[in-house]
Amino acid sequence: MKLIIRIASLIVGILFTTFCVAADSLKINGFVAQGIVQAKDSNFVNDDGDVSVKLTEIGVNSAYRFNSSLRMAGQGVYLEGGNRYPDGFRIDYLFLEWQLLQTANWLIKTQIGRNKNYHWLYSSTRDVPHTRPSIVLPQSLYFDVFRDVAIGVDGIVLLAQTDNKWGEWDFNFSYGNSKISDEQKENLLGTYASGKLAHDTDTQISVYWRPSLSKFQYGLSLLDADFSYKQGDSDTLSSGEETSQRIMFNLLYQGQNWEVASEVMRERVIVENLLFPGFQSDLTAEGGYLQAKYFLSSQLTLLARLDIYDRDRRDRDGSNVQTLSQGLVPGYFGLMDQATTGVTWKFAKNIQIQAEYHKVKGTARLAPIFTPNTILNDSKYWDMWAIQLMYWF
C-alpha cells in the first residue's frame, strides 16, 4: 500500500510539472526526492538498522495573488522518513497574506492560517531537499522527533523588512499552536502513553541583520512553547505540563567559494508531573553546529559539519542521567554529537544527487525522548549514511 502511495505521488508530481510548463499564468512549483538511508546501531530511521528507502519527500505548492496587497499560498507534502517523523500527506502551509505597508524602505505583512517557521536558518524549507545543506539536518536544533511541532504553527505571523544605513533587517513574529498526532506523541513520550498531548501555545520572535553590502548575516531568535498532557486509560504517564524556552543565535557567511553557517542555542525545558505525580525537572540544554560548504564548481559542493548537543549544561557527560535512573539509562542519553561530511552534485538543470555520512556519539535526540529506548539504542557510537536524488520545478 505504501509503495502504491509512493508511486502515485511521484506520478502526481510529474503531472504537476507538465501542467506547470503548460500554464504560464498559474504559479505552481514543487519537488520530488527519493533516497536510501541506513542508521546502524540506533533506531533513528528504523528499529532493525537495515538499509531503508524511507527517504521520500514530495511537495507541490501554489500561490495566487488577489491584488497587490492580498495573496494566498499553500503547499502539500508527502513524506516518508521512517522513525524520524510521521509518514503521509499533510498540508505544509496554507495561509492568507495581507500586505499592511510597503514604502521605499519598509515592507510589513501578516499571514493567517498554517504558517511556516521563518525563525531559523533552514526551518522554513527543512522538507525541501534541494534547499537544505544536507539530507539530515543537525539534530541539536533541527530535531526530527520534534519536526511536526517545529515546522510551523496554526495561527498568525507578522513579518517586517526594512533597509537603513546599517543594512537589511528582517523582524519575524509568530503565535499559534500545532496539532500533535498519535505517532508524534509516541516519538516524544513512548508507545505506552495513551493520553492526549497538546501543543497549547507557541510564540517565536526573530531578528536578522545583513550589514550593508556585506557577505555576513546575523540572526537571533527566541521561542516559548507550552505543552500539556492529559492522562489516558491505563496510562503509565500522568497528566502534566512541559515548557520549552529557547534562545538561538545564528551566523551565515556567503563568499565566492565558501559558505559558513553556524547556529547555537540554549534551551530551558521545564517538566511538571507527567512522568509521575509530583515529578519536577528544570534542565537547560545547549547545542549548536558549525558548517562549512565549499563550492568546487557550480555543480559540485562539499560539506563538513560538527554538531554538538548536551541535554543538561550542568551534566554534559550525562552522568546524572545514569545515576538518577539507577543505571537503567546510560550516560550517553544525555548528549548527542554528530560529525557530518557530504557531497552534492547538481548534474542537470533542477536535478541533483546528495550523499552524506554521519558519525554520531550519544543518543539524546533519538525517539522516544521522555522514555529512552535503551534496548534499540544500546551503542554510544553509531553511524549513518544517506543518498538522495532530488528534482524540483
Partner 1 sequence: MNQTRLHLFLALLVFSSCLLFVAFSVGSQVPEVKVVVNPSVDPKDLSVEQIRRIFSMRQTTWSNDQTITVYVLANQHQTHQVFSTQVLGMFPYQLDRIWNKLVYSGLGEEPIKLQSEEEMLERVSQKPGAIGYVAQPINVDKINVIKVLEK
x/- map, 203-242, partner 1, by CB under 8 A: ---------xx-----------------------------
Smallest separation (angstroms) from partner 1 to the CB of 147 = 15
Applying CB under 8 A, which of residues 44, 95, 120, 227 lies at the interface with partner 1? 95
3-state helix, strand, coil in the chain (%, to 5): 15, 55, 30
Applying CB under 8 A, which of residues 234, 256, 297, 326 lies at the interface with partner 1? 256
x/- map, 47-86, partner 1, by CB under 8 A: ------------x-x-x----x----xxx-----------
Of 212 and 323, the one with the shorter C-beta distance to partner 1 is 212
Smallest separation (angstroms) from partner 1 to the CB of 201 = 22
Cα–Cα distances in Å, from 116 out to 48, 59, 109, 154?
33, 14, 14, 9
Question: What whole-number distance in Å separates Cα of residue 129 and Cα of residue 125?
Answer: 8
Applying CB under 8 A, which of residues 88, 211, 255, 277 lies at the interface with partner 1? 255
Smallest separation (angstroms) from partner 1 to the CB of 40 = 25
Applying CB under 8 A, which of residues 93, 333, 382, 391 lies at the interface with partner 1? 93
Three-state DSSP class for 178? coil
Do residues 349 and 327 touch, judged by C-beta distance below 8 A?
no
Of 150 and 308, the one with the shorter C-beta distance to partner 1 is 308
Of 168 and 235, the one with the shorter C-beta distance to partner 1 is 168
Question: What whole-number distance in Å separates Cα of residue 244 and Cα of residue 203?
Answer: 11
Question: What whole-number distance in Å separates Cα of residue 241 and Cα of residue 29?
Answer: 40
Stretch that binds partner 1, among 2-10, 15-23, 159-167, 277-285 (CB under 8 A): 159-167
Tell me, rounded to whole angstroms, the distance of Cα 387 from its chain centroid.
19
Three-state DSSP class for 392? strand
Residue where the block lists cell 555520512: 357
Cα–Cα distances in Å, from 233 out to 83, 121, 192, 229?
25, 41, 10, 13
x/- map, 334-373, partner 1, by CB under 8 A: ----------------------------------------
Question: What whole-number distance in Å separates Cα of residue 284 and Cα of residue 317?
Answer: 14
Of 5 and 292, the one with the shorter C-beta distance to partner 1 is 292
Phi, psi of 185, rounded to the nearest 5 degrees = -60, -45
295 contacts partner 1 (rule: CB under 8 A): yes
Do residues 39 and 382 touch, judged by C-beta distance below 8 A?
yes
In 3D, which of 96, 80, 87, 78 has the Cα closest to residue 16? 78
Residues interacting with partner 1, by CB under 8 A? 27, 29, 31, 59, 61, 63, 68, 73-75, 93, 95, 97, 102, 104, 107, 111, 116, 118, 124-125, 128, 130-131, 159, 161, 163, 168, 212-213, 253-260, 262, 290, 292, 295, 298, 306, 308, 316-317
